Amino acid sequence: QVQLIESGGGLVQAGGSLRLSCVASGTTFNKYVMGWFRQAPGKEREFVATISRSDGEMRQADSVRGRFTISRDNAENTVYLQMNNLQPEDSAVYYCAASQRTGSSLKEEYNYWGRGTQVTVSS
């Protein structure tokens, strides 16, 4: 059973930075495309970023491009999300997810999910 545990969320002022981490266990990490999604109260869960299994190919949502960077360390079974210049509209619960398929911006492509970490950005 794959387990994903996120950490690194918190409260930050607008313009600040946070780095989220997600550690995977119970699996061979480099078999999975990894992604980050977020969900704000009353809204659908939305795509943030995804990274391929080994060559580091990345995609980000338009809303975060140039501010957020996804990366992974397969030796440490960890995926990261570096978030810079955070804005109040970035406030949400951030979820790590793993895909055995191609991975994409579609949450239906992801097989496993963490429980999330809260990010709150004050204005």
| Distances from the Cα of 95 to the Cα of 8, 49, 55, 121, angstroms | 12, 11, 22, 17
pLDDT for residue 110: 95
pLDDT for residue 26: 86
Residues in the chain: 123
pLDDT tens, position by position, for the chain (123 residues)? 789 999 999 999 999 999 999 999 988 999 999 999 999 999 999 999 999 998 889 999 999 999 999 999 999 999 999 999 999 999 999 999 999 988 789 999 999 999 999 999 999
What is the SS3 assignment for 37-60? Answer: EEECCCCCCEEEEEECCCCCCEEE
Question: Are 50 and 32 spatial neighbours (Cβ–Cβ below 8 Å)?
Answer: no
pLDDT for residue 104: 86
